[in-house]
A and B are shown apart, each in its own frame.
Chain A
Amino acid sequence: MKKPEQIPILLVEDNYNDVLLIKRAFRKAQINPPISIVSDGEEAIAYLSREGKYADSATYPFPLLILLDLKLPRRSGLEVLSWIRQQPKLKRLLVVILTSSAENSDLERAYDIGINSYLVKPVDFQDFVSLIQLIDAYWLKLNQMPQSLNI
């Protein structure tokens, strides 16, 4: 079992309100993983490709879990997802969609491309905290990670 603190998370979220609320929810849930935050699709790809400043792995640790919003500037969440699934080195990356949309078309397309989970952001903050706790319990603690991201 890996220590929870050791699992870095990449949050891809353009709405700063949501970023603040997610961060607070983590705090409220008393979970403190290293969270890197990017605010659009292109940046997410740059981060995962270790381009530019993201080459510094100390500041920008490589994530084992991505919380991915769907509605993003520049490149949508689904585009980012497609890109990830096409990268041999990233194929096994855990991707959890965290979005406000429960539209069927988004949901099904996301599953078609390949996601690990699809979660809708609750409006009620308490529900949000519960959600973060569940993510932590399930994906970061209970779930067995792949040994390597490489094939």
Chain B
Amino acid sequence: MEIAIVVICLLLALVFYLGIEVKQQAIALNKLQQEKDDSLDTFTSQTAAKQLLTDRNKTNEISEELIKNNNQRLYSTIANAPIPIIVHAEDGEILQINQVWTELTGYTLEDIPTIADWTEKAYGKRKKIVRSVIDSLYELKERVDEGEFKIITASGQVRIWDFSSAPLGKLLDGRRLVISTAKDITETKLTQKQLKQSEKMFRNTFEQAAVGMAHVAPNGKWLKVNQKLCQIVGYSKKELLQKTFQDITYAEDLKTDLEYIAQMLAGKIKNYSMEKRYIRKDASLVWIDLTVSLVRKSNREPDYFISVIEDISDRKRLELSEKKFLQRLSNQHQIDKAILEAQLPETIANIAISGIQKLIDSEHISIVTFDREKQTATVLANQGQIDELAVNGFQVNLSVWQNLIEQLENLDRNNHRYALNYLSKFPQLSAAIPQFKQTELDCFIAFPVKSSGKLLGILKIWLKNTEKIASEELEIIREVCDQVAIAIVQANLSRKIKNYTLELETKIAQRTAQLEDINQELNAFTYSISHDLKAPLRAIQGFATALQEDYGENLDEVGREYAWRLTYSAQEMEKLIQDLLSYSRLARTEIQMRSLSLYGVIATAIEQLKTEIAESGAQITVEEPLSNIFGNQTVLIQIVVNLLSNAIKFVSDGVKPKIRIWTATEGDRVRLWIADNGIGISPQYQERIFNVFERLHGTETYPGTGIGLAIVKKGMERLGGKFGLESEFDRGSRFWIEGNKKQPREN
């Protein structure tokens, strides 16, 4: 391009120079002609005329030679010029077009011998306008730039030429000549247009990008910023361009950023990406993802940074809320675990506070519990950046807290879950905790620790900055408060239970001691019966016998009967004491149980009763097979002996006892039946007969102590079994006892 311009200028200068030379030559020529004419006019002599003619011819020869040479030089210069050139005369004749012209337009001189042909071909409809411009050229005294024209080439292409023209003197015939040169700027124009377009595109891309984009000077000054970036940081373009990126970068993140930049300027890295925070115009923070690359000048000096800035606050929020969610879960879990482990409320409160501290940037957190009965408020737990602020267990009168309590109790009514407060607004409270006054802390958020609508305490979060805490976080703290409330309630309950348990244990111990005393007494009593009662009994019998044996002869019949009655009564009493001892022993001794054969039990019982059986002539049938039973051999023998002896005893006069023994099983249970042909028992007595000393007959008819069936009852109770009878008066009785076959499986 530049070269072309230089060429054109040189050429025009040459043309102009040539033009002037030609002109001067022409003037000289004219002058000669004039002189010749003058001389012709002046000198009419032949000689003179001859001379003149010679001169004239001579002159003509010279000038023609001159012109010829000049024209030759000019022609070839034009022909070889690297730009399109045309030489045309005022009558429209085109004298010359050069090689380049033909190359660019596709027209030879033959195609366009005249300007009319040229304009016709190259301009089409615009030819008239162009023609008038061209016509005006012949009046030119100096070079003129006509400007850009679109021409149509032989092949129909449109090219853009920038024309300049200059006068080129006159021909010998007097026609004025003009040389016109053109610069083909088609490509330049195209490039310009493309450049313009791509610039526009770039501008659009830059401006309308969905991400923030900027050019930043090496010193950090914003050079160019797009709309999105302005939107992200909340500054207008104008405001932002007054600032540096350092100005709006969050202090904590700046160091990393500057380190990256240093590395990039040092050529160690080509670009970098980082997540950082900008301080928005409204002082809030925004998380962005920054990608920076460096553009260098041709001399490798840093030119500017290209920064792409993406707003990732949503993602960060999500990440943060995810993190918080996890923290929340973890908090809950830890507190729940502590509650389940029945940890002390102090411990749980400390866990709760630690959890909150992980979520919220706070100066101090404390939990105070209230005891309405004692009218006290106690610091349950507190943690914070100021260690010695409060002591756990620190107690004040509840009235100190009254204002705050009232406020928190009214929260529900106002649909609030917490209350933002200033210690300075609670003069009583601030007087009670002077430590807080010494610190800068004044602002706190109070959360009620509530259960079943009852305010159990307060959780306070002290803040230095009243910067907003997200509602989500407040919700979490509220949850924590609920858990702490549960812990407190649980602790109270477990304390109550502990007290109850202690009370019960004491009572049980007392009762046990009482029972042991009673048992001791009972043992002593039994001992007395067996020892002390027997001694006089033995004496009565012993001396009655001695009386009968040693002095029987001195007694009459009545005296001897009396002596016999003494002996007999002593024997009766001996039996009674024996039965009572058996009964009481059954009631208090420890009983070992095992699965045992009823054959052995029955055989032993029959053996023990052999005298009675023999005397009564009783017939006993045992129906085999007999099942096993889970019980105690001694106790079962006692029971069976009593049942059998009753069956033998209670028969009508002259009736020989017939006794049938068998077992019936049902599932795990076994029932031993003892049926007799005795006098039977009327249904109305059937329950009573199992009581101690219960008798249905006089001792004269059926002697006995009235303890036998009581032993059966007590024995079966001790064995965990059942007993009963089926009987009707005068139709015999069928007594039964029931127990498990084997040891029942423990659940």
Contact = CB atoms under 8 A, between A and B. Distances in A.
Interface stretch (B56-64, B419-427, B534-542): B534-542
Nearest to B526: A103
Interface string B510-547: 00000000000001001100111011111101110110
Contact of A100 (B526, B535, B546, B589): B535
Given A15-B535, A24-B546, A123 B571 contact: yes
Contacts of A103: 526-527, 530
Interface in A1-50: 15, 17-18, 20-21, 24
A121 B534 contact: yes
Given A24-B546, A123-B574, A125-B545, A17 B527 contact: no
30 contacts: A15-B535, A17-B535, A17-B536, A17-B538, A17-B539, A17-B542, A18-B535, A18-B538, A18-B539, A21-B538, A21-B546, A24-B542, A70-B531, A71-B531, A100-B530, A100-B535, A101-B530, A103-B527, A104-B589, A105-B523, A121-B534, A121-B538, A123-B541, A123-B570, A123-B571, A123-B574, A124-B541, A125-B542, A126-B545, A128-B538
B571 A124 contact: yes
A24 B574 CA distance: 21
Interface size class of B (residues with CB under 8 A): 20 to 34
Contacts of A17: 535-536, 538-539, 542-543
Interface of B: 523, 526-527, 530-532, 534-539, 541-543, 545-546, 570-571, 574, 589
Interface string A68-88: 001100000000000000000
Nearest to B570: A123
**4 tightest A-B CB contacts, nearest first:** A17-B539, A125-B545, A21-B542, A100-B534
A123 B534 contact: yes
A100 B523 CA distance: 15
Given A21-B542, A128-B542, A123 B537 contact: yes
Interface string A104-130: 110000000000000001111110100
Task: Determine which residue in B527, B535, B537, B542 has the highest number of CB atoms from chain A within 10 A of its CB, and name it.
Answer: B542
B715 to A, nearest CB: 17
Nearest to A122: B538
B538 A123 contact: yes
A102 interface: yes
Contacts of B570: 123
A99 interface: yes
A102 B542 contact: no
Given A21-B542, A123-B574, 7 more contacts: A17-B538, A24-B546, A100-B538, A105-B523, A123-B534, A123-B541, A125-B542
B230 to A, nearest CB: 104
Contacts of A99: 531
Task: Determine which residue in B523, B531, B534, B546 has the highest number of CB atoms from chain A within 10 A of its CB, and name it.
Answer: B531
B524 to A, nearest CB: 11
B531 A100 contact: yes
Nearest to B533: A100
Contacts of B538: 17-18, 21, 100, 121-123, 128
Nearest to A25: B542
Nearest to A15: B535
A142 to B, nearest CB: 27
Contacts of B530: 100-103
Nearest to A16: B539
A100 B532 CA distance: 8
A21 B526 contact: no
A122 B578 CA distance: 12
A81 B543 CA distance: 30
A20 B547 CA distance: 13
Contacts of B534: 100, 121, 123
A79 to B, nearest CB: 16
B635 to A, nearest CB: 15
B583 to A, nearest CB: 15
Contacts of B589: 104
A101 B571 contact: no
A121 B533 CA distance: 13
B226 to A, nearest CB: 106
A121 B542 CA distance: 11
B277 to A, nearest CB: 89
A18 B536 CA distance: 9
A125 B535 contact: no
Contacts of A70: 531
Nearest to B534: A100
Contacts of A124: 541, 571, 574
Nearest to B575: A123
